[in-house]
Structure 1
Amino acid sequence: MKNGRIPTALLCLLPLVFSYPLLKGRRNNTGTNLLSAPDPTYVPGTAERCTDEGFGAITLDDKGVMHYFRGDSTWTGFQGPTQNLSETWHGVSGPIDAAFRNYNEKRPLEHQRIYLFKDTQVWSYFEGKLLEGYPRLIGQAFPGIPDHLDAAVECHPGECRTDSVIFFKGDTVYIYSFHEEPAVKQRRWATLGTCSAAVRWLERYYCFNGINFTRFDPVTGQVLSPRPLDTRDYFVRCPGRGHGHAARKNATLLSIQDRCSNRSFEAFSSDDRSRTYAFRGGLYFRLDSNKDGWHAWPLKHTWSTLQGVVDAAFTFESRMYFIQGSQVTVYLSDQIYIPVAGYPKPMQEEWEVPGVTAVDAAFTCPHSSDLYLIKGKKLTLVDLNTRKRFGEDQTLIHAEVDSAMCNTHGLYLFHGPSFYHYKNVEELLSTVEAPAPGDTRSYFLDC
Structure 2
Amino acid sequence: MIPYLGTLLCLLPLGLPYPLIKGRPNDTGSNLFPVNPPSLNVTGLADACNGEGFDAVTLDDQGVMHYFRGDFVWAGFHGPAQRINETWKHLHGPIDAAFRNHNKNKPLEHQRTYIFQGSNVFCYFEGSLLAGFPRPISQEFPGVPGNLDSAVECHSGECKADSAIFFKGDTVYIYSPQEVPPVKQRQWAAVGNCTAAVRWLERYYCFNGINFTRFNPVSGEVLSARPLDTRDYFVRCPGRGHGHNVRQNATLMAIKNRCSGQSFEAFSSDDKGRMYAFRGGWYFRTDDNKDGWHPWPLSHTWRDLHGAVDAAFSWENKMYFIQGSQVVIYLSDQIYIPVLGYPKPLIDELGVTEIDAAFTCPHSSELYVIRDNELRMVDLQQSPRSPARERTISHSQVDSAMCNFNGLFIFQGPLFYHYKDVEELVSSTEPPKPGNIAERFLDCLS
TM-score by length of 1: 0.90
Per-residue deviation, 1:55? 0.3
What is the match of residue 174 of structure 1? 173
CA distance in 2, matches of 1:310, 1:100: 36
Per-residue deviation, 1:117? 1.0
What is the match of residue 430 of structure 1? 427
1:359 to 320, 337, 355: 355
1:369 to 354, 365, 374: 365
Structure 1 segments unaligned to the other structure (5+ residues): 1-19
Per-residue deviation, 1:30? 6.4
What is the match of residue 281 of structure 1? 280
What is the match of residue 86 of structure 1? 85
CA distance in 2, matches of 1:322, 1:239: 40
Written as runs of structure 1 = structure 2, the 5 A alignment for 1:159-170 is 159-170=158-169
Query: Is the contact made by 1:360 and 1:375 (CA closer than 8 Å) also made in structure 2?
Result: yes
Query: Is the contact made by 1:33 and 1:242 (CA closer than 8 Å) also made in structure 2?
Result: no
What is the match of residue 148 of structure 1? 147
- 2:69 matched to 1:70? yes
What is the match of residue 407 of structure 2? 410
Query: Is the contact made by 1:32 and 1:248 (CA closer than 8 Å) also made in structure 2?
Result: no
Per-residue deviation, 1:202? 2.1
Query: Is the contact made by 1:171 and 1:192 (CA closer than 8 Å) also made in structure 2?
Result: no
Amino acid at match of 2:315: F
Listed one character per residue, the Cα deviations across residues 275-298 of structure 1 (whole Å, up to 9, x for unaligned) are 100111111010112134211111
Structure 1 pair 306–60 and aligned structure 2 pair: CA distance change class (3 A): same
Amino acid at match of 1:408: F
Per-residue deviation, 1:48? 0.6
What is the match of residue 123 of structure 1? 122
Amino acid at match of 2:216: D
Query: Secondary structure of the equivalent of 1:67?
Result: strand
Per-residue deviation, 1:221? 2.3
Query: Secondary structure of the equivalent of 1:108?
Result: coil
Amino acid at match of 2:284: F
Per-residue deviation, 1:198? 0.6
Query: Secondary structure of the equivalent of 2:47?
Result: coil
Structure 1 pair 122–159 and aligned structure 2 pair: CA distance change class (3 A): same
Amino acid at match of 1:393: E
Amino acid at match of 2:363: H
Per-residue deviation, 1:157? 1.6
Per-residue deviation, 1:217? 2.2
What is the match of residue 378 of structure 1? 374
TM-score by length of 2: 0.90
Query: Secondary structure of the equivalent of 1:290?
Result: coil
What is the match of residue 40 of structure 2? 41
Query: Is the contact made by 1:78 and 1:235 (CA closer than 8 Å) also made in structure 2?
Result: no
Query: Is the contact made by 2:177 and 2:183 (CA closer than 8 Å) also made in structure 1?
Result: no
Mean Cα deviation higher: 110-119 or 226-235 = 226-235
Amino acid at match of 2:426: L
CA distance in 2, matches of 1:351, 1:139: 55
Amino acid at match of 2:379: D
Query: Secondary structure of the equivalent of 1:330?
Result: strand
Per-residue deviation, 1:389? 3.0
Written as runs of structure 1 = structure 2, the 5 A alignment for 1:234-383 is 234-243=233-242, 245-353=244-352, 357-383=353-379
Query: Secondary structure of the equivalent of 2:251?
Result: helix
Mean Cα deviation higher: 90-99 or 238-247 = 238-247
What is the match of residue 16 of structure 1? none
Give % identity. 63
Amino acid at match of 2:372: G
Per-residue deviation, 1:31? 6.5
Listed one character per residue, the Cα deviations across residues 203-249 of structure 1 (whole Å, up to 9, x for unaligned) are 22111111011122222323232221111111111111112522333
What is the match of residue 28 of structure 2? 28
CA distance in 2, matches of 1:158, 1:365: 21
Query: Is the contact made by 1:98 and 1:197 (CA closer than 8 Å) also made in structure 2?
Result: yes
Mean Cα deviation higher: 271-280 or 188-197 = 188-197
Mean Cα deviation higher: 274-283 or 142-151 = 142-151
Query: Secondary structure of the equivalent of 1:350?
Result: helix
Written as runs of structure 1 = structure 2, the 5 A alignment for 1:10-29 is 22-26=19-23, 27-29=27-29
Query: Secondary structure of the equivalent of 1:247?
Result: helix
CA distance in 2, matches of 1:391, 1:144: 58
CA distance in 2, matches of 1:21, 1:97: 27
Query: Is the contact made by 2:409 and 2:417 (CA closer than 8 Å) also made in structure 1?
Result: yes
Per-residue deviation, 1:426? 0.8
CA distance in 1, matches of 2:85, 2:221: 36
Mean Cα deviation higher: 380-389 or 332-341 = 380-389
Amino acid at match of 2:103: N
Query: Secondary structure of the equivalent of 1:367?
Result: coil
Per-residue deviation, 1:188? 2.7
- 2:131 matched to 1:132? yes
CA distance in 2, matches of 1:319, 1:21: 31
Structure 1 pair 30–220 and aligned structure 2 pair: CA distance change class (3 A): farther
- 2:228 matched to 1:232? no
Per-residue deviation, 1:32? 4.6
Per-residue deviation, 1:161? 2.2
CA distance in 2, matches of 1:350, 1:25: 40
Listed one character per residue, the Cα deviations across residues 28-82 of structure 1 (whole Å, up to 9, x for unaligned) are 3566566867x61331211010111000000011122211000111112345431
Structure 2 segments unaligned to the other structure (5+ residues): 1-16
CA distance in 2, matches of 1:308, 1:235: 27
Query: Is the contact made by 1:33 and 1:243 (CA closer than 8 Å) also made in structure 2?
Result: no
What is the match of residue 111 of structure 1? 110
Query: Secondary structure of the equivalent of 1:388?
Result: coil
Per-residue deviation, 1:125? 0.7
CA distance in 1, matches of 2:79, 2:264: 32
Query: Is the contact made by 1:42 and 1:82 (CA closer than 8 Å) also made in structure 2?
Result: no
Query: Is the contact made by 1:23 and 1:77 (CA closer than 8 Å) also made in structure 2?
Result: no
User: Number of residues paired by the alignment?
Assistant: 424
CA distance in 1, matches of 2:201, 2:30: 16
Amino acid at match of 1:331: Y
